[in-house]
Structure formats: C-alpha cells, structure tokens
Amino acid sequence: MKQLVMQDEFDTNGAPNASLWSYNIGTGNNGWGNNELQYYTDRPENIVVENGMLKITAIQELYMGAGYTSARILTKGKFEKKYGRFEARIKLPWGKGIWPAFWMLGANSDTVVWPQCGEIDVMEYLGNNPTTVFGTVHGPGYSGAESISKSYSLLNDRFDNDFHIFGIEWGENYINYYIDDVLYNQITPEDVPGEWVFNEPFYIILNMAVGGNLPGTPNSQTVFPQTMLVDYIRVYE
C-alpha cells in the first residue's frame, strides 16, 4: 500500500477543491438521523482552506432555524475507492456536544438503505472526552448502538493538543485501525454478526456535528466557535 492514489494537502486557500469535495447542506432528516443540532453550510465561516489546513468550524448562532452551524463535505461521486490505506492528519476540537468525524460510506448509499451500504468510521470523537477516539463499522445487523467499535486513548495527552494521524488499512477480509501508526484494532467478517458489506467502493466524509444522540447537547462549559483542523488526507493502494 505504497502508491498514493488520492491526496488533498489543503494548500490552496479558499473553498475546498470542488473536483474532490461536495457539501451536505442543511439539517438532514431528523438532524442527520441522530437528532443533531447543527445546520451544515458551505460558508467560509464554517469551512475554509487557509494556512495549509482545512478548517471546519462549529459556530453557536441562529441560522435557518438551527442554533448552530458547521460543515460536512464528502467525495461522493468524485472519489470512491475499494480497499487501501485511508488516512488524515487532524487536530481535534473539544467541549461537550462537539462531535467531529472522519468516515466513509458505501458508494451505493443512494440505492441501498443504510446500514446495508456499510459505514466505516475511521475516527469519531466526543468533545467531552478529549483523550479518547474510536473506530467503528456499521452494517446490516450491527448498526447504531449495535455497531462494532473500539476506542483508543492517549496517556497524559489530549487529542485537542496536537495533530494525530488517523487511518485504516482495508482489504478484502479486514479493516485495520491505526492512530499514529499504532494498530489498535482489526475488524474481520468473523467479528460482525451480519453480512460483511465492505467489498465495494466507499467515499469519504469529513464533518463536525453539534449535539445529537451520542455526544449530547453542548453545556455552559462548551466554548464556541470550535474548529477541527485537517492538515491532509491521503489514500494509498
């Protein structure tokens, strides 16, 4: 897995590269299915490339009926790949109710109802627990609360203090999860109580949600704005 097949170094200021990324806009269905509180926009206040970084910023503001804004971008229809190493170098935000993620969905997600399309969460993080991230798969019979997941915690450090590299190496019968080149989990067909749906191309998503079922609502200690910084995203085969 040494040949680079996609990279975004986020070194051109302005909007994200339109040949690679599209935007999800709005609140989705039922807060994107998780009772989330943000309205996703394509405004530079919420998403911009500057100083060699992609910056996704959650803001507390009244906008289109929502109390928060943020952003969610995806490579659907522009970059979709089966198998390989997918990695991103990210500095995470923090605070109760902040929920950033680097994840992937099956390219057939429009024609097949989730979770049949498959979901690979390379990195999810809850801002009230800044020492821990987790990697997860969702599929038929093992989605939502029944997903297959494992967490990884830093010792004497926090993910909002510095950049870390979050990655998977994905092959026909395995998904290996890495943080800073530490292999902390492997998921195989034997580990899932249902159909293995990870033999199709997937596309990439970067987003930061606010609130929702998993992180809960921000509280009085949550400082806004909060920004997720992405130094690069790279895919190898």
Catalytic residue numbers?
A: 119, 124
Residues sharing a CB contact under 8 Å with residue 168, sequence separation 6 or more, in sequence order:
85, 86, 87, 120, 122, 135, 175, 176, 177, 178
Task: Work out the widest C-alpha separation in the chain, in whole angstroms.
Answer: 47
Helical spans, DSSP H, in 52-114? none
Q: Beta-strand (E) ranges in the chain?
A: 4-8, 22-23, 38-40, 47-50, 53-63, 66-70, 72-74, 80-81, 84-91, 98-106, 119-124, 132-138, 148-153, 164-171, 174-179, 182-187, 202-210, 226-236
Phi, psi dihedrals of residue 94, rounded to the nearest 5°? -155, 165
Residues sharing a CB contact under 8 Å with residue 237, sequence separation 6 or more, in sequence order:
1, 3, 5, 81, 83, 84, 85
